[in-house]
Amino acid sequence: MTQNTDGHTGASPDIVIVGAGPVGLTLANILGLQGVRTLVVDERDSLIDYPRGVGLDDEALRTFQSIGLVEQILPHTVPNQILRFFDANRKLLAEMAPPDARFGWPKRNGFVQPMVDAELLAGLDRFDHVEVRWGHRMENCAETADGVTVTFADRRTPVATRYVVGCDGGRSATRHLMGVSFDGTTSSTRWLVVDCANDPLGHPNSEVGADPRRPYVSISIAHGIRRFEFMIHGHESDEEADSPAFVRRMLAQMVPDPERVDIIRHRVYTHHSRIAGAFRKGRLMIAGDAAHLMPVWQGQGYNSGIRDAANLGWKLAAVVKGQADDALLDTYDIERRKHARAMIDLSTMVGRVISPTNRRVATLRDKVIHAASVVPALKRYVLEMRFKPMPRYEQGAVYHGEPRSASSPTGTLFIQPRVDTRDRQNVLLDDILGPGFSVLCWSNNPCALLGDEVFARWKALGTTFVAVRPMTQLHWRGYDDPDVVIVGDRTGALKAWFDTHTDSVLFLRPDRCIAGACIAQRAAELSASLFKVLHLTWEGGNGASESLLYVSQPTAESSGTVAGSP
């Protein structure tokens, strides 16, 4: 990777990413691994060095795993973070301590954002075809017949590219240039956030105080950092709340000696619940806070942006490399909008439950929650975070078949247990599947099920073919195929998954979403429908001699070794 503030090196980029925050950097790593020439520009001179987001979920860690950086990021996290909600009398209202890790990682993780962002930036050093330019403020994007010309302030050299992705925050210049709305509301309630080094409490607990006198938050991050948040009342001005005396007075509610607290920074902020009218317009797209803003209560602002990058990255790569038509990019908005909206609504609702300052309303809330907590099913629902909306794509780059089955796994994320192969033990499944498409089936040879022509089309995409077997059959050599990876179901989680579904053949996208699922006999038939909804291109002659435009997967030597690989 080249980092500079002025010069230009190499060929014109295929993609320009505006904004070197976590979403832009994650997207650049995804594109870098796929061999896509990428330029990241940012008007700042360097990364933001103070904590902002404080919670990573399992999906975000899975994405960081997919770009080969999770081992570098984990030292900056606190896994399995428990979050407790208390009433005004310090009586426990609810607790979130989700026990399972179906996607390979804990559901709740505290983290230090500047350090994780720095690892995402350092990850770009693996790629000669990815460049970061600081001090570049984008002024305009002019679409041409086959691309976009990006111009910058201070007479910096314009850049010609194929697509622009704005990851430039809530005040996104890219969104403004697209001319799309940013619909929603901004809460009138303000909060004071105080980040402290040398954690004055020192324990790993995190809590939300639903105290009508002054709701508060106390969150343990990593490396001895703790965040406190306090609601600011209507009669308290921003200037008053920003004063050292006010900050110390708030801290006095939490620690015995507020004068000795090592404050990293403090600021006043408000909560936004907004979503852009469109995530794509022509050759311009937006992701992260540029596309949606949500209150902090579920810690999903950062994670939703990482989901955007994971959804959009493989699609951009497929289009740029000639594997798919431009229409595939339309599915980004189709798929991400509904889930982003659901996260905004959930975060807004939780904020309303936590924040009432009317004592009667708060008392009624507490009684309802305490009554619900004695019902085992409701308690598990909260404890295991089953209320969290999970991506489920009804439309987009997925094929549900007709008639649709309510129990179909299509459009959902596939699980990621630990598995064995014949030469590797106890590895996460995604490290076997690799960075591209995969066809996975239970106790069958996927190549034989697909037939020669359909198999050739999938293989031309760099698809990984996986046959899952019970561990008792892992080393049995019958019906071996050189194009198929044999996977042993080390934990039994894969058999348990197939036990609850009638589908035995899964077509997985690079983001681990199930694009389609069927019984073994219909694998070739389903493939034909998937090629259409994925907008995959097909070049060459006629009949069996045709071949999909082939682009090889990047090697460890050219793009860095994926975490978990030897």
| pLDDT tier, 298 (very low <50, low <70, confident <90, very high otherwise) | low
pLDDT higher than 90, residue 378: no
User: Do residues 168 and 25 both lie within one domain?
Assistant: yes
pLDDT higher than 50, residue 564: no
Q: Report yes or no: 29 and 312 within 8 Å, Cβ to Cβ.
A: no
Is position 37 annotated in a ligand binding site? yes
Query: How do beta strands 206-209 and 83-86 pair?
Result: parallel
Residue with the two structure tokens 């009342």: 233
Is position 21 annotated in a ligand binding site? yes
Is position 484 annotated in a ligand binding site? no
Is position 402 annotated in a ligand binding site? no
pLDDT higher than 90, residue 313: yes
Q: Which residues does 32 contact at the CB level (< 8 Å), separation at least 6?
A: 1, 38, 123, 124, 126, 127, 129, 130, 559
Residues constituting the chain: 566
pLDDT of residue 76: 96
Q: Which residues does 20 contact at the CB level (< 8 Å), separation at least 6?
A: 40, 41, 42, 44, 47, 121, 132, 134
306-320, 341-355, 437-451, 515-529, range with the lowest pLDDT: 341-355
pLDDT higher than 70, residue 379: no
Is position 31 annotated in a ligand binding site? yes
pLDDT of residue 294: 85
Please report whether residue 298 resides in a domain.
Answer: yes
User: Do residues 335 and 443 both lie within one domain?
Assistant: no
Is position 84 annotated in a ligand binding site? no
CATH number at residue 488: 3.40.30.10
pLDDT in tens, 437-456: 999 999 999 999 999 999 99
| pLDDT tier, 552 (very low <50, low <70, confident <90, very high otherwise) | very low
Q: Quick one: average pLDDT of 219-228?
A: 92
Q: Of 354, 370, 403, which closes a domain?
A: 354
Q: Quick one: average pLDDT of 104-121?
A: 94
Quick one: tokens of 537?
Answer: 């291109």
User: What is each CA distance from 438 to 248, 273, 562, in whole angstroms?
Assistant: 55, 36, 16
Is position 280 annotated in a ligand binding site? yes
User: Do residues 424 and 539 both lie within one domain?
Assistant: yes
Give percent of the chain with pLDDT exceeding 90: 68
pLDDT of residue 493: 97
Containing structural domain, residue 444: 418-559
> Cα(14)–Cα(28) distance, rounded to whole angstroms?
11
Q: Quick one: average pLDDT of 287-302?
A: 84
Is position 34 annotated in a ligand binding site? yes
74-78, 325-329, 557-561, range with the lowest pLDDT: 557-561
Residue 452 host element (H or E): helix 452-460
pLDDT of residue 347: 76
Q: Report yes or no: 386 and 380 within 8 Å, Cβ to Cβ.
A: yes
pLDDT higher than 90, residue 11: no
User: What is each CA distance from 343 to 80, 175, 294, 301, 520, in whole angstroms?
Assistant: 21, 20, 7, 9, 36
pLDDT of residue 386: 52
Per the structure, how many domains does the chain have? 2
pLDDT in tens, 122-175: 999 999 999 999 999 999 999 998 999 999 999 899 999 999 999 999 999 999
Is position 423 annotated in a ligand binding site? no
CA 215 to chain centre: 29
Is position 312 annotated in a ligand binding site? no
Is position 39 annotated in a ligand binding site? yes
| pLDDT tier, 517 (very low <50, low <70, confident <90, very high otherwise) | very high
Is position 32 annotated in a ligand binding site? yes
Quick one: tokens of 45?
Answer: 């001179």
pLDDT higher than 80, residue 204: yes
Q: Quick one: average pLDDT of 519-540?
A: 89
pLDDT of residue 550: 34
| pLDDT tier, 426 (very low <50, low <70, confident <90, very high otherwise) | very high
Is position 239 annotated in a ligand binding site? no
User: Do residues 340 and 440 both lie within one domain?
Assistant: no
Is position 409 annotated in a ligand binding site? no
| pLDDT tier, 49 (very low <50, low <70, confident <90, very high otherwise) | confident
Is position 348 annotated in a ligand binding site? no
> Cα(29)–Cα(32) distance, rounded to whole angstroms?
5
CATH number at residue 322: 3.50.50.60
pLDDT of residue 376: 63
Is position 563 annotated in a ligand binding site? no
Please report whether residue 239 resides in a domain.
Answer: no
pLDDT of residue 562: 36
Q: Of 354, 369, 396, which closes a domain?
A: 354
Is position 333 annotated in a ligand binding site? no
> Cα(427)–Cα(565) distance, rounded to whole angstroms?
9
| pLDDT tier, 366 (very low <50, low <70, confident <90, very high otherwise) | low
Is position 38 annotated in a ligand binding site? yes
Burial of 549 (C-beta count, 10 Å sphere; 0-12/13-18/19+) = middle
Quick one: tokens of 529?
Answer: 């429908």
pLDDT of residue 388: 59
Quick one: tokens of 310?
Answer: 């994971």
Is position 474 annotated in a ligand binding site? no
Quick one: tokens of 59?
Answer: 């999906």
Residue 272 host element (H or E): strand 262-276
Is position 566 annotated in a ligand binding site? no
Is position 24 annotated in a ligand binding site? yes
User: Do residues 548 and 457 both lie within one domain?
Assistant: yes
Is position 386 annotated in a ligand binding site? no
> Cα(498)–Cα(222) distance, rounded to whole angstroms?
38
Q: Which residues of 352-384 are buried (b: 16+ CB within 10 A; e: fewer)?
A: ebbbbeeeeebeebbeebeeebeeeeeeeebbe
Please report whether residue 454 resides in a domain.
Answer: yes
Of the two residues 564 and 32, the one the predictor is more confident about is 32
Is position 41 annotated in a ligand binding site? yes
Please report whether residue 510 resides in a domain.
Answer: yes
The backbone region for 464, taken as left when phi is positive above 0, alpha when psi lies in -120 to 50, beta otherwise, is: beta
pLDDT of residue 559: 38
Please give the radius of gyration of the chain, using alpha carbons only, rounded to the nearest integer.
25
Is position 450 annotated in a ligand binding site? no
Is position 17 annotated in a ligand binding site? yes
Is position 169 annotated in a ligand binding site? no
User: Do residues 25 and 123 both lie within one domain?
Assistant: yes
Please report whether residue 549 resides in a domain.
Answer: yes
Q: Report yes or no: 299 and 53 within 8 Å, Cβ to Cβ.
A: yes
Q: Of 354, 387, 404, which closes a domain?
A: 354
Is position 285 annotated in a ligand binding site? yes
pLDDT of residue 342: 85
User: Do residues 348 and 428 both lie within one domain?
Assistant: no
Is position 503 annotated in a ligand binding site? no
Torsion angle defined by CA atoms of residues 40, 148, 393 and 170, in that order, rounded to the nearest 10 degrees: 60
Is position 29 annotated in a ligand binding site? yes
CA 292 to chain centre: 13
pLDDT of residue 160: 97
Please report whether residue 268 resides in a domain.
Answer: no
User: Do residues 510 and 435 both lie within one domain?
Assistant: yes
Give percent of the chain with pLDDT exceeding 70: 87
Is position 22 annotated in a ligand binding site? yes
Is position 48 annotated in a ligand binding site? no
pLDDT of residue 554: 39
Is position 519 annotated in a ligand binding site? no
Is position 177 annotated in a ligand binding site? no
Both ends of the chain: CA-CA distance in Å?
A: 24
Residue 197 has phi, psi (to 5 degrees) of -90, 170
- What residue type is 79 in one-letter code? P
pLDDT higher than 80, residue 460: yes
Is position 481 annotated in a ligand binding site? no
User: Do residues 456 and 538 both lie within one domain?
Assistant: yes
Q: Quick one: average pLDDT of 478-482?
A: 87
Please report whether residue 201 resides in a domain.
Answer: no
Average pLDDT, the chain: 88
Please report whether residue 425 resides in a domain.
Answer: yes
Q: Quick one: average pLDDT of 447-471?
A: 96
Q: Report yes or no: 549 and 536 within 8 Å, Cβ to Cβ.
A: no
pLDDT of residue 18: 98
User: Do residues 428 and 290 both lie within one domain?
Assistant: no
pLDDT of residue 370: 67
Query: How do beta strands 38-42 and 418-419 pair?
Result: unpaired
User: Do residues 296 and 433 both lie within one domain?
Assistant: no
> Cα(43)–Cα(40) distance, rounded to whole angstroms?
10
pLDDT of residue 130: 98
Is position 10 annotated in a ligand binding site? no
pLDDT in tens, 161-195: 999 999 999 999 999 999 999 999 887 788 999 99
